[in-house]
Amino acid sequence: MLFKQYSQYLRDKYGETVYRVGVDGGFSCPNRGVDRDSPGCAYCDVFGVRSAYLGEETQALEEQVRKSIAVLKKRYKAETYILYFQAYSSTWGSVSELKKIYDHGLSLGNFIELVVSTRPDCIDKEIARLLGSYVRKDFNVWVELGLQSAQEDTLIRINRGHTRDQFEKAFNLLREAGVKIAVHLIFGLPGEDHSLIMESVDYLAALKPEGIKFHNLHIPSGSPLYGEYEAGELSFPDSRRHVLYLVDALERIPEETIIMRMTTDTPRLRHRVPGVFLNKSSTYNLVSAELERRGTRQGKLYHPFGV
């Protein structure tokens, strides 16, 4: 095995192909406040992270689940699903509000897992305990936790709005609650070269999250960074450079960590920069070819700090 791919992990675990039903729970995030139209992270537009098939208007959860499952059935003949609260910061609310939303979402289908995407500054002990309460022997709960970079200067530069210390506190609370954790990193952020990117990878590898999502930096036209791009103030790694970053990162990541994503898949109409980038399957194929060329694999260079 060259690297531990998420889709294969799910097939091995459940004996079939499993699909995520991405929903928008109506959350915003601390950077934006209650108004989603307010500026957020420098690379984020007003849509946040939403499944393309949901469209631009937030509908009731019932309609979102119905529409998503219909699309997945038609396109992939899907039968088995994970409920995925994907858009914005899906733990930003009171415990009672969150429980009501999660319970309602889970009641809308026979879901085999719950996944919640959020920010480190939207996790506290009570919220971690709530998420942990859904964990059963036959039912996993995942939290996708956005770190993006372990460099404090970068977090400030992209208006991320949280610190590395806040990330570590959230990570530890979730781990104590028995929740599986997938962490997001972005390659190509302003001011970060290969050395800084790999520092973030090594930092994350030492924590040994259950999963990782790697993203290439992309800039929607409605994001604050787009203005800097138009002014000629930014440059980006191309597809080939991104593949090399990925291979270097995979060598440093524990072999048991699940690789859940390698590229960003913002819909083309919103994805302005870079305008042309490799799709998911092409990226996976190139990464596999480069790993084979080097005679290496995920985890080959991994070692915990201090060893």
Tokens of 261: 């994503």
Question: Minimal CA–CA distance to 200: which of 191, 25, 267, 4?
Answer: 191
Is 302 within the bounds of a domain? no
Tens digit of pLDDT for each residue in 200-252? 999 999 999 999 999 988 777 667 777 777 776 677 778 889 999 999 999 99
pLDDT of residue 118: 95
The Cα-based distances of 42 to 96, 111, 152, 158, 246 in angstroms read 31, 34, 15, 5, 23
Q: What is the average pLDDT across 41-45?
A: 59
Is 300 within the bounds of a domain? no
Tens digit of pLDDT for each residue in 108-149? 999 999 999 999 999 999 999 999 999 999 999 999 999 999
pLDDT over 90, % of the chain = 67
pLDDT of residue 307: 43
Tens digit of pLDDT for each residue in 275-291? 556 788 899 999 999 99
The larger pLDDT score, comparing residue 124 to residue 55, is at 124
Tokens of 127: 């919220």
The count of structural domains within the chain is 1
Tokens of 125: 């002990």
| Residue 82's pLDDT band (cuts 50, 70, 90) | very high
Q: What is the mean pLDDT of the chain?
A: 87
- Is pLDDT of 188 > 60? yes
pLDDT of residue 88: 80
Is 304 within the bounds of a domain? no
Q: Which amino acid is at 65?
A: V
Is 39 within the bounds of a domain? yes
| Cβ proximity of 5 and 284 under 8 Å | yes
- What is the SS3 string spanning the chain? CCCCEHHHHHHHHHCCCCEEEEECCCCCECCCECCCCCCCCCCCCCCCCCCHHHCCCCCCHHHHHHHHHHHHHHHHCCCCEEEEECCCCCCCCCHHHHHHHHHHHHCCCCCCEEEEEECHHHCCHHHHHHHHHCCECCEEEEEEEEEECCCHHHHHHCCCCCCHHHHHHHHHHHHHCCCEEEEEEEECCCCCCHHHHHHHHHHHHHHCCCEEEEEECCEECCCHHHHHHHCCCCCCCCHHHHHHHHHHHHHHCCCCCEEEECCCCCCCCCEEECCCCCCHHHHHHHHHHHHHHHCCCCCCCCCCCCC
The larger pLDDT score, comparing residue 300 to residue 272, is at 300
- Is pLDDT of 106 > 70? yes
As a whole number of angstroms, the distance between CA 191 and CA 123 comes to: 28
Is 86 within the bounds of a domain? yes
Is 235 within the bounds of a domain? yes
pLDDT of residue 306: 44
CATH of residue 248's domain is: 3.20.20.70
| Domain span at 192 | 6-294
Cβ neighbours for 189, distance < 8 A, ≥ 6 positions apart: 43, 148, 149, 154, 157, 158, 217
Tell me the CB-side half-sphere exposure of residue 124, using CA atoms within 13 A: 6
